[in-house]
């Protein structure tokens, strides 16, 4: 059975199903279409499906033309999961967030799998790409799949292949980022390699789905820990009146043994702030306390409070308090030059400063409208981006640079702002206006 599937995948005769058309699934749909496969994209969001079917993109760094070309090439999008029976490959790209207790929430993965189970048939391959803890594929997907009577590795094939998308990164694309793949059995792995080798330049096989799952976590925990280190170094350097960004630039000239990481107002995105919790939660099952990882998480989580303290100190020098001050936050995306707000530390800054009595506004050329709410805290935001000008900048007591988008005119900001709190090291030269945070 798997040889027939491998042959169909290699000859691009298979139909590919992508489940979840967000920052991971949509680029994958476009890449498979570009490579010559017929693709069906699935999502529960009717507005997304309507937008895509009209040939339009809802993600800034993905062009309308690329979506339109995919539709014109025969790829389709739908909310009808019964069509899952028509595809040969089912690639699951749904979110894996945390619940209110900061524990893994696999509901999107399990509910998607449950929706697919009635439509599964022999000769299909299922690949989970969502970031998760080691064991998820075999503990959660495998029993559901085999409840149909199909045997994984014989009738149907199961792999885990973690996504590695980096929104806004023009250097690396879906095609050029190497792909990890682990199979439930050797036959599953062979099918998984056939699934991805036609669309990804380099596919890296590993021994199991669990190894692939842990690989993804290691990649992101490596970043989280190093960012935690440099955030702590920033606080130390600030106490010593040393510019941490100058130090990082100097250290980065060493051609070996050092990789530069940069401090900021906190962690954001769909991976770095979340993934460590998946491993620390699972590690407790084995009686392991991941102290190093958790300490880095504590440091990173404390950074919005550190920034607020720097805002307070900056206002104090002007004989003002946060309560009653007008503050504008520049950048609400979690990183520069993207329209992605997931887990953005800017939202924590808005919440904290608002609760302290500040009058807040924001400016972000990539996010013209900001709508978010948190049912647990009662925090709600519904605002429009403020256009920066000499006049508007002068109206604010503090300009807080939270995300260093290239589209901001930093010369204009420096000339007309009263106080600048810089969390990203934008301003290299010393200035009486600029407070490093």
Residues recognised as catalytic: 271
Alpha-carbon span 6 to 11, nearest angstrom: 9
Q: Determine if residue 266 is left, alpha or beta; phi over 0 gives left, psi from -120 to 50 gives alpha, anything else beta.
A: left
Query: Taking the alpha carbons of 18, 23, 29, 31 in that order, is the dihedral positive or negative?
Result: negative
Alpha-carbon span 67 to 53, nearest angstrom: 9
Query: Taking the alpha carbons of 115, 121, 127, 133 in that order, is the dihedral positive or negative?
Result: positive
Provide the 3-class DSSP secondary structure of residue 179.
Answer: strand
Which DSSP string do the residues of 324-340 spell out, in sequence order?
T-EEEEE--SSSTT---
CB neighbour class for 369 (10 Å; exposed up to 12, middle 13-18, buried from 19): exposed
Alpha-carbon span 401 to 426, nearest angstrom: 8
Q: Strand 326-330 vs strand 203-206: parallel, antiparallel, or unpaired?
A: unpaired
279 is written with which tokens? 């491993």
CA-nearest of 322, 274, 310, 325 to 402 is 310
197 is written with which tokens? 């080798």
Alpha-carbon span 167 to 59, nearest angstrom: 9
Which DSSP string do the residues of 24-46 spell out, in sequence order?
THHHHHHHHHHTT-EEEEE-S-H
Which DSSP string do the residues of 101-169 spell out, in sequence order?
TS-B--HHHHHHHHHHGGG--TT-EEEE-S---TTHIIIIIHHHHHTTTPPBTTTBEEEE------TT-
CA-nearest of 112, 93, 95 to 26 is 93
Contact 224, 267 (CB under 8 A): yes
Alpha-carbon span 207 to 157, nearest angstrom: 15
């Amino acid at each position: 059975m798997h040889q027939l599937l491998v042959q169909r995948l290699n000859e691009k005769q298979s139909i590919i199903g992508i489940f979840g058309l967000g920052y991971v699934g949509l680029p994958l749909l476009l890449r498979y279409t570009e490579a010559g496969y017929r693709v069906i994209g699935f999502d529960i969001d009717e507005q997304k499906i309507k937008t895509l079917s009209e040939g339009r993109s809802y993600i800034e760094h993905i062009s309308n033309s690329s979506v339109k070309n995919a539709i014109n090439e025969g790829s389709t999008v739908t909310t009808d999961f019964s069509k899952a029976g028509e595809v040969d490959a089912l690639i699951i790209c749904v979110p894996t967030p945390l619940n209110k207790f900061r524990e893994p929430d696999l509901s999107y993965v399990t509910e998607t799998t449950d929706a697919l189970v009635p439509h599964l048939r022999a000769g299909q391959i299922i690949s989970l790409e969502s970031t998760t803890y080691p064991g998820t594929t075999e503990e959660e997907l495998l029993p559901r799949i085999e409840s149909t009577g199909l045997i994984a590795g014989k009738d149907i094939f199961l792999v885990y292949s973690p996504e590695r998308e980096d929104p806004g990164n023009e250097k690396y694309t879906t095609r050029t980022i190497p792909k990890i793949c682990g199979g439930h059995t050797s036959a599953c792995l062979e099918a998984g390699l056939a699934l991805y080798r036609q669309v990804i330049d380099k596919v890296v096989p590993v021994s199991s789905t669990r190894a692939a799952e842990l690989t993804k976590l290691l990649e992101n925990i490596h970043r989280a820990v190093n960012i935690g280190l440099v955030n702590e170094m920033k606080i130390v350097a600030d106490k010593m009146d040393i510019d941490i960004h100058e130090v990082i630039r100097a250290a980065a000239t060493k051609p070996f043994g050092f990789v530069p990481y940069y401090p900021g107002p906190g962690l954001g995105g769909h991976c770095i702030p979340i993934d460590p919790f998946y491993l620390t939660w699972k590690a407790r099952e084995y009686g392991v306390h991941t102290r190093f990882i958790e300490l880095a998480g504590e440091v990173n989580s404390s950074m919005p409070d550190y920034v607020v303290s720097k805002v307070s100190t900056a206002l104090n020098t002007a004989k003002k308090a946060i309560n009653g001050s007008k503050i504008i936050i520049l950048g609400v995306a979690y990183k520069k030059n993207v329209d992605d707000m997931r887990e953005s530390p800017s939202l924590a800054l808005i919440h904290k400063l608002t609760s302290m009595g500040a009058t807040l506004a924001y400016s972000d050329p990539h996010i013209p409208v900001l709508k978010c709410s948190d049912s647990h805290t009662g925090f709600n935001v519904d605002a429009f981006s403020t256009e920066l000008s000499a006049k508007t900048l002068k109206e604010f007591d503090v300009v807080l640079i939270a995300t260093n988008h290239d589209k901001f005119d930093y010369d204009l900001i420096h000339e007309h702002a009263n106080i600048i709190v810089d969390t990203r090291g934008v301003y290299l030269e010393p200035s009486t206006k600029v407070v490093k945070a």
